[in-house]
Structure 1
Amino acid sequence: MKLLHLKRAGLLLGAALAATPLAALELKETPGLDASLPPIAERIPSEPLIVDLKAKGREVGKHGGSLDTLIGRAKDVRLINVWGYARLVGYNDKLELVPDILAAVDVEDGRIFTLHTREGHKWSDGDPFDAEDIRYYFEDIVSDENLTPSGLPPFLLVNGKGPKFEVIDDTTVRFTWEEPNPLFLPELAKSRPPFIYRPSHYLRQFHEKYGDPDFIAKEAEKVKARSWAPLHNKKDDMYNARNVDLPTLQPWVRKRDDSDLRFILERNPYYHRVDSTGQQLPYIDEVIMTVADGKLIPAKAQAGESNLQARNLSFSDITVLKKGEKQNDYKTALWSNSKGSEIAIKPNLTVKDPVWRKLLRDSRFRHALSLGIDRNLLNRVLFFGLGTPGNDTVLAASPLYKPELTSKWAEYDPDKANALLDEIGLTERNDKGIRLLPDGRPLEIIVETAGEAQVQEDALELVTEMWAEIGVKLFAKPSQRDNMRERAISGDLLMSVWWGFENGIPTSEMPPSDYVPVRGDELSWHSWGDHYETRGEGGEKPDWAPAERLMELYRAWLVSKTPEERTKIWDEILQIHAEETIHIGLVSGVRQPVVIKDVKNVPLEGIYGWDPGAHFGIHRMDEFFLSE
């Protein structure tokens, strides 16, 4: 069986496949490029990815200009490698996995993956990108215990075993596992992918196996690295955009290291995509990312200081942004937020307090808390009624969506909530009407917040009043993201408020990692996730029946071979979440404002999310162009 296979003739993705063969294209030089660069025919692959913009309902663009955007901190410069979203395989706007940097992927039996690079593809410095760059990653980085002491990452392991890796020819490599590996391709398409390729021509000079020892020692001294391995790891920075000397395959490249407040990302003259008129992408010459106080970014966007802005904007900014449109000549698009819920209250099922642990794992208690929340009121007060009240689950845009998943145990019914709490045995109350725990303590729930979203704190204020009606006292405790995670690790975190599932629009082909206890950074079950991530060396093995079943289903997904198998697994995972109210979701479908000033081809209706989505990435920012 062959999946994701594209004929190697310069064809494009999905509905936007270009029927124009490369030979019929009249390639056009990009104005303003360094005259010393080779002509376009020598810069692009012999089989580039050809974009038919008209088939996608977009305009053919024109080259030039600088796009200004604002970021809240210097390290957000790494978002250029998210928004550019050049991936070996990536998601299109239909959430299908399709080749991008690769010309094709052949998949056999769900376990044999043959990757075909594009003949003549080059890194941003003009050096060839080929099979050697994938080999270098696999054999000289993740298989070298000096550079990767933890061993192969999980997406390269099946039942604890790595793949057989082969270089077939200069443009072809093969990964073969003994059993199916459905994690492999979705991992390559992430907003922060593993980059299973590296610019070997650049990194070899810092590798003990290839580099000159004297040169390595001098370079290590410059950055105060103890040996060649930390030096290599510092230079090998495919995601964070800190090493300006590191070549890339992304549409824009950071080449200057002269400021930590204003970053200029220049076009990659060797980028692998062209439009159907023969123009090389990206259209925009450079992206300028300027650091600003995150709290001031909405006002700056309203003042017209950004050409394209979604970062640091939220639903609460929409009214102000709309008011400034005419005066400062921009549009405020309202994209669909892809989170399972805009706000979710998360009981910590692995809290160390034994009384609370038992109570939080009692489904009747979680159901009572959920039934005690008037989500329609929250939606009206916080989101002008524009959201969808309900659980933290998949959205209607997902093929896995079922309406009952959103509404199960999510109606407002304080009488039923009180009855459930009585049924548990929480019938005693203090003189303030607050129920008492079995050990006599008042039923006071501390819900910690990261202090990053005012709307979460506003929601908790309303929930505090609602829960008081069922004899539950809520205390909102401002904290910080890192502190909350530390308290989850120590088992002291009782409950938190956070965004819901990052991926509220999954397909069956996407791993259900957000929905099962396999991640230690999940505030609902750190200990279980840590146990999985450390392969049993840390945390706790799940000892709660629903969590045990979620793990069984996840393991079944990992060895599944067909979309039908994976859909069945996903359906049960989502059903467990709906039945158990593991997260207490409040409102979903909240809109994300996107300010657009003098930029064409930016959709007015879009998906805004991390995985899948890559913020602007899934909408192909390299196809955006400036109108002036």
Structure 2
Amino acid sequence: MMKKKTFTLFLMMIFLISSLAFAAERKFANQFTKEEMWIYKNLSSYSEAPELRELVEQGKLPPLTERLPDIPRVIKSNIMVDGIGEYGGVWRDTFATPVQSWNWGAQKTQGWFGICQVLHEPLVISGPMWMLEKPDPLPNLVTDWEWSEDGKTLTMNLVEGVKWSDGELFTADDVLFTYNDLILNDKITTFGSKGAWVYGGKQTELEKVDDYTIKWHFGEAFPVAVFYNMDYLDFSVSPKHVYKNFHPDYNSDVTYDVFANATPPNDLPAVTLGPWVPVEYKPGEQLVMVRNPYFWQVDEEGKQLPYIGEVRFNEVESGDIRTMNLISGVADRTNLENPQTFGLVKQATMKENSPAKIAFGPFGIGYQIEFNLSRYLGVKNDRDAELRELFRNKMFRQAVSSLIDRDAVANIAFPGPLTQAWYGGYPSGSAYYDENFVKKYEFSPTAAKTLLSELGFKDTDNDGILNWPASSRIADDELVIELLLRQDQSAVLDAVQAMEPMFREVGIDLRIKPATASTVDTRIPAGDFEAYMVRLDSAVPFVQMQLFGPIRESSPDWHRSASGGKRDLMDFEVKIQDLMKEATYEPSIDRRNEIFKEILKLSTENVYTIGVYEVRRGTGLHKRICNFQPDIPPYMYNWTMESIPAQILYVEKEDQFSPGFLNLIPTKEDYTNKSWQ
């Protein structure tokens, strides 16, 4: 026991020393204005990677000036730790979610783990906001915008001359297609939410002024939160020229099932506006991407980005393998999210010849249980109906909160300064978190048993499991709850296994139901679950209100509306909804902070979710990678790959690995005879 305590103390000291060393490095957080990060400007000259120049000389690609917009985005060296980069090399990464298709407009994933971030391009971008003095969405596919005097119209100017990776122009038609034909279409499931675009009771309308100018028309003045509807996933622009032929509104010979299954994983090369293009995918093995010849961003010297020519994502069964790959030197990046790996990672990176370095930030991950509160969505039988009513009873949620020994679960995950008990709401590293607004229903199995007894549950057959009251439609059935979780999140599984005997001690039979990410992504929107143990990654509720309350019909995940918007919000949920609506239009940062503290109080008082424990998130990086900001949060407004942004990363010539797939850089010929043509 003494040895274990000594080792734990040793690790705590090491983490503290690492944090101090980390703090001494150059800071990028909250340092810049938007213009100091990037601008849209025509430069006197441009240059490109040698492999692209060779394709131009062979007549397989147009000259660079014909591939770039007239006024490209110019990324400033201010945000580059090591300055202007060198071309070449390979970025090596890992993912654990199979590619579903390239049709992100139909809510299909391309593998997560940073892949989607480098493929999708939205109108505005929030990931790099952490570097702004005054965090606010940054322009991406739009250069600028302007509100009308009455605040009900927002005019946006698009970057002119941007081209998709197949050489087709990006225009306002792609934006209108994404909004009108995908997001607003009730027959298509999208990452974006139709309900999120309702202001003042009116559905927002999108007008095309010309090919590079659009106007948004709102039902209420100055909905300042709307910019976060235009970000990654919520408004990842889809190429109309690709997907209109699969869309029933444009092609009467197809169905919506055809659209949902368009461009499967083997339909390569994919069409993207991102810095790299997927060109080869072997399921269960590897996804390969190469530089996009038409990428529309450059550095201050006019060098077309990205610097790195090739990206390889090895497909594995668990995200933890990504971390093991980094410390063994065969991968370049990982997010440190699973507490069980922290000690191993730190010991490995302390070695003199370690290829990796790590850093930890504030508490930014929360592990919580979400009970399905919907009376309508996914209710198939009496058992479902009775469980939903039970979950809606605050006494039951309070009982569950009381039966969990949070300190024990946190210590099982990792003893020390990187984990701690958490009672829900927002992770304590959030700028919106205030301990004074948090109600804690602390560990007390006795209190839990009393509450369950008051709800009418008794162990009538003396087998240790409570039975439903005689007044219920499933009288005498045992109190069994199925807990859904993603099987690729091992920290969630470990926490649930630690809690299962705690539930059983008070008479609840908790059945653990691991499932693949794609299965979970299907079941949650359909309401096909009883309870869900999940990792909450966001600590910024203003940016992602849908993760914390009923701001949309499709949110939160644990209380979605059924068909026709049918949903019975509880009184405290109505208050949360009203506060979120107020925040949507509130320009004052101070007042928004007050609003979200009120929401924090309502959420924890009413045990909206069952917070279990929280974790400091870390980043691991191979030492050969340049331009990676030392104080970058693994996740704040978005994930690391967008927050850098990834196209500015590079590797010095002597540290580069030889690319193996540059012969697959797509040209016009590679995009002929495709499924959409």
TM-score (norm 1): 0.77
**Aligned partner of 2:644 among 615, 619, 622:** 619
Secondary structure, counterpart of 2:69 in structure 1: coil
Q: Find the aligned partners of 2:244 and 2:526 in 1 and give their Cα distance.
A: 41
1:577 aligned counterpart, secondary structure: helix
Residues 1:121 and 2:150 are matched in the alignment: no
**Pairing 1:379-458 to 2, within 5 Å after superposition:** 379-385=410-416, 386-405=418-437, 407-414=438-445, 417=448, 438-439=469-470, 441=476, 444-450=479-485, 451-458=487-494
SS in 1 for 2:427: coil
Distance 1:284 1:204 in 2: 32
The one-letter amino acid of 1:17's match is E
Aligned to 1:291: 315
CA contact (8 A) 1:308 1:597 kept: no
Q: 2:610 aligns with which of 568, 573, 584?
A: 584
Q: 1:165 to 1:421 in 2, by over 3 A?
A: closer
1:316 alignment counterpart: 340
Shift of 1:207: 7.5
Instruction: State how far apart, in whole Å, the 2-side matches of 1:509 and 1:485 are.
Output: 21
Distance 2:97 2:371 in 1: 31
Distance in 1 between the 2:90 and 2:528 partners?
48
Give yes or no for the alignment of 1:261 onto 2:285.
yes
Aligned to 2:136: 96
Alignment of 1:482-497 (within 5 A): 494-497=530-533
What is residue 188 of structure 1 aligned with on the other side?
230
Counterparts of 1:268-347 in structure 2, within 5 Å, are 268-294=292-318, 297-310=322-335, 314-325=338-349, 326=351, 329-336=354-361, 341=366, 343-347=367-371
Q: Which amino acid aligns with 2:435?
A: P
- Counterpart among 195, 201, 212 of residue 171 in structure 1: 212
Letter paired with 2:649:
F
- The aligned amino acid for 2:163 is K
2:540 aligned with 1:505, yes or no? yes
Check the 8 A contact 2:273/2:295 in 1, yes or no: yes
- Whole-angstrom distance in 2 between the partners of 1:495 and 1:21: 47
Identify which of 499, 521, 526 aligns with 1:463: 499
1:229-258 CA distance string (max 9 Å, x none): 7666655x6xx8764355321111124568
2:374–2:561 CA contact under 8 A, matched in 1: no
Q: Distance in 1 between matches of 2:389 and 2:500?
A: 22
Matched, 1:524 2:558: yes
CA distance in 1, matches of 2:521, 2:512: 14
Q: Does 1:81 align with 2:116?
A: yes
Deviation string for 1:239-296 (max 9, x for gaps)?
Answer: x876435532111112456877332211122322222233222111111122234375
Q: Distance in 1 between matches of 2:611 and 2:345?
A: 27
Residues 228 and 357 of structure 1: is their aligned pair in 2 closer, same or farther, counting only changes over 3 Å? closer
Structure-1 separation of matches of 2:63 and 2:646: 24
Gaps of 5+ in 1: 1-11, 211-215, 217-224
Residues 132/461 of structure 1: CA separation in 2 closer, same or farther (3 Å cut)? closer
1:515 matched to 2:549 = yes
Q: CA deviation at 1:442?
A: 8.7
Change in CA separation of 1:265 and 1:350 when aligned onto 2, cut-off 3 Å: same
Secondary structure in structure 2 of the residue aligned to 1:607 = coil
Give the Cα–Cα distance (whole angstroms) in 2 for the partners of residues 19 and 346 of structure 1. 40
Tell me the number of residue pairs that the alignment of Structure 1 and Structure 2 aligns: 583
Call closer, same or farther: CA 1:520–1:266 in 2, change over 3 Å. same
Report deviation, 1:172.
Answer: 1.2
Partner of 1:573: 599
Structure 1 CA distance, aligned partners of 2:399 and 2:95?
Answer: 41
2:394 matched residue in structure 1: 363
Choose the corresponding residue for 2:33, options 5, 11, 14: 14
- In structure 2, the residue matched to 1:227 is 254
- Give how far 1:69 is off: 1.6
Q: Is the 8 A contact 2:246 2:254 kept in 1?
A: no
How many angstroms does 1:64 deviate by? 0.9
Q: 1:382 to 1:245 in 2, by over 3 A?
A: closer
Which has the higher mean CA deviation after the structures are superposed, 318-327 or 276-285?
A: 318-327
Residue type of the partner of 1:535?
A: G
Kept in 2, the 8 Å contact 1:447–1:497? The answer is: no
| Structure 2: distance between partners of 1:484 and 1:293 | 16
Please state how far the C-alpha of 1:321 moved relative to its aligned partner: 3.5
Note the C-alpha offset of 1:337: 8.4
TM-score, structure 2 normalization = 0.72
Distance, in Å, in 2 between the alignment partners of 1:498 and 1:204 is 36
1-structure distance, mates of 2:275, 2:90: 14
- Taking a change above 3 Å as real, the CA distance of residues 78 and 462 of structure 1, as seen in their structure-2 partners, is closer
* Partner of residue 29, structure 1: 48
> Which one-letter code corresponds to 2:401 in the other structure?
S
User: Cα deviation per residue 1:13-69 (whole Å; 9 max; x = unaligned)?
Assistant: 836615999467653333321431444444333332222233564533211111122
Distance 2:189 2:96 in 1: 31
Match of 1:198 among 239, 242, 245: 239
SS for the counterpart of 1:530 is coil
2:93 equivalent to 1:69: yes
Contact preservation (8 Å) 1:333, 1:605: no
- 8 Å contact kept, 2:243–2:259: yes
- 1:121 & 1:490 partners in 2: Cα distance? 37
Q: Please give the per-residue CA displacement for 1:201-246, whole angstroms capped at 9, x wherever unaligned.
A: x566778998xxxxx8xxxxxxxx95387666655x6xx8764355
Secondary structure, counterpart of 2:411 in structure 1: helix
What amino acid sits opposite 1:372 in the alignment? L
Q: CA deviation at 1:565?
A: 6.5
Give me the whole-angstrom Cα distance separating, in 2, the residues matched to 1:593 and 1:19. 25
RMSD, matched Cα? 4.4
Matched-pair contact (CA < 8 Å) for 2:195–2:553: no
* Alignment of 1:480 onto 2:515: yes
The answer to whether the Cα contact below 8 Å between 1:63 and 1:284 also exists between their aligned partners in 2 is yes
Calculate percent identity across the aligned residue pairs.
Answer: 20
Q: Which amino acid in 2 is paired with 1:368?
A: A
